[in-house]
Structure 1
């Protein structure tokens, strides 16, 4: 059986509160040499474009298939980089792209598991790909919500730095969603590395609102087939906030779905997207409630 993996860049600007570690403590991850990675990426063929940048196809001499992107900078130094690798290496969830290894030296790389079918965006926009079924789309958003629940409630420190869009959702051979752009708590603020107890409620609420909003936009992407990078996304968010949005809901469905979708499920998913993308006040529900609802629909 051919082994596969993905290498994705990581370029954070975190301040760490923990004791520094060395490379010997990363024995549970594979250590790649720069030379092997460069040889494996000969030609630099782009196979995916995440929001953090392109990733490249690689083939190692031992048969390992991968996608590679260089970590351009990491000002905190090697010890901080090793700790980052250690923390990411301990994230284990079926809907997260799992870290498998890393590379250090003049250049640094992170090595993640490979996802055979590329990004969700490709499947929504490439006319040469078979359109995703309604059931598959529902399972994809359910998988993403499950990954978010894990990051928010079951990680210590909790992970709030997540970029959720069709470019960063990767699909394996069975079309299972794998969230790829994940970082540590506080990448956008100065509350880095604090636990739930130490982080201010206001800060946690704001980060949670951002995540829930992004999930709502992803639901709209899956329904319409329109990636969030397109200018029309703001219009969709405005449309779903209109009090009469349900009257025209069939007009915004991805034409590739034809009439194969469930109208009742469409209506309820749009209501979830509407609640997620409300910008006035705090969300009236938690990520766990969203996941529970989506799981019921997926089942």
Structure 2
């Protein structure tokens, strides 16, 4: 399994691992382990001892914030360990504050932060390990196709996770990088939103706007790309793009779109102009329900509106999914004729 692209390992994984080995095989004086949630029966000594045994075989991916490793404990439990290199003391203090808050966040549809090791040169974040891999891998790299019900279930799970971040966390959290590689799947293809922990947290008394541009091209809302301002509504736009990606089986900047001078949103708008929206659906997807497809397309179009005020909240998105998409339509069971 690879969370953030094992292909990056060839470029810098080995170099990063040498530093990792030097750091962890040496003196642990000054290192500390903080564990969140009371359901992990490990001491700091247990964790540090296990870290000493890790080598390049444990690398499972790499991303913008650091290399990811597979951490297997003696009792059979497995975790994902993300190494974030420290660059300055100010950043170190920032992460301490972030992690303290994130450690209290626990939800069925989020990849939970279990704890972290504060070592001399890096933060080692301990996350749940999901054996199903990323949605990006399943959609675009594996031969086995997701059927319609599996895709609907993934969309709903991702929506619930993002809704929790927007509406039920205190302070609220803008993800800023919703994309298929940040939706991880367990063995039953249940979706969980990952990598939200490094996004900027929103305080209730603030304006809920951050000016640090993050995200991945193809998923970003127009106003985010133009002004660099992230709000909950920019996350909603990215979620709408994600829905279209799941429905079509194509990345937002697939070559078939680019050669027409479009992205996936532009392609949807083109098809809508000719009343052909249903043609966006992946031809390899089995069990498509026409009624729920139309409801999903309507929802996606609202989410990717060019006007932020016309986009629904994620709380409303979940409501619409549960009432219009997940709830079976009568014609699913009866012949309409």
Query: Deviation digits for residues 48-101 of structure 1, max 9, x if unmatched?
Result: 566656533333344332333311225326554333222111111100001112
Runs of 4+ in structure 1 off by over 6 angstroms are: 201-205
Question: Which position in structure 1 is the counterpart of 2:232?
Answer: 208
Q: Distance in 2 between matches of 1:245 and 1:239?
A: 10
Distance in 1 of aligned mates of 2:282 and 2:137: 14
Residue 246 of structure 2: aligned partner: 222
Name the residue aligned to 2:126: 111
**One of 116, 121, 129 as aligned partner of 2:136:** 121
**Paired residue for 1:143, among 157, 177, 197?**
157
Determine whether 1:235 maps to 2:267.
no
SS at match of 1:43: helix
TM-score, normalization by structure 2: 0.69
C-alpha separation in 2, matches of 1:79 and 1:113? 24
1:67 equivalent to 2:76? Answer no
- Equivalent residues in 2 for 1:173-212, closer than 5 Å: 173-183=187-197, 187=200, 193-195=202-204, 198-200=205-207, 206-212=230-236
Query: Corresponding residue for 2:107?
Result: 93
Residue 320 of structure 2 corresponds to residue 293 of structure 1: yes
Write the distance in 1 (CA, Å) between the matches of 2:182 and 2:168: 21
Larger relative helix fraction: 2
SS of 1:167 mapped into structure 2:
helix
Find the aligned partners of 1:241 and 1:100 in 2 and give their Cα distance: 42
Deviations 1:254-273 (A, max 9, x none): 12214x20122112211211
Per-residue deviation, 1:25: 7.6
Deviation at 1:167, TM superposition (A): 0.4
Name the counterpart of 2:220: none
Superposition deviation, residue 295 in structure 1: 1.6
Larger Rg: 2
* CA distance 1:40–1:59, change in 2 (3 Å): farther
1:123-171 CA-partner distances (Å, limit 9, x unpaired): 111243x211111111111111111111111111110134211100000
Residues 182-220 of structure 1: per-residue CA shift (max 9 Å, x gap): 0366x3xxxx6521xx22267699512210100100001
Instruction: Work out whether residues 159 and 184 of structure 1, in 8 Å CA contact, stay in contact via their aligned partners in 2.
Output: no
- Please say if 1:164 is aligned against 2:178: yes
Task: Compute the RMSD of aligned alpha carbons.
Answer: 3.2
TM-score (norm 1): 0.77
154, 179, 183: which one pairs with 2:168?
154
- Judged with a 3 Å threshold, the aligned counterparts in structure 2 of structure 1 residues 79 and 158 are, in CA distance, closer, same or farther, namely same
Q: State the secondary structure of the residue aligned to 2:71.
A: strand
Distance 1:78 1:62, change over 3 A: farther
> What is the rounded CA distance, in whole Å, between the counterparts of 1:173 and 1:222 in structure 2?
18
Q: C-alpha displacement at 1:113, in angstroms?
A: 1.0
SS at match of 1:110: strand
- Count of residues in correspondence between the two structures: 270
Residues 227-276 of structure 1: per-residue CA shift (max 9 Å, x gap): 33645485220122347357323432212214x20122112211211111
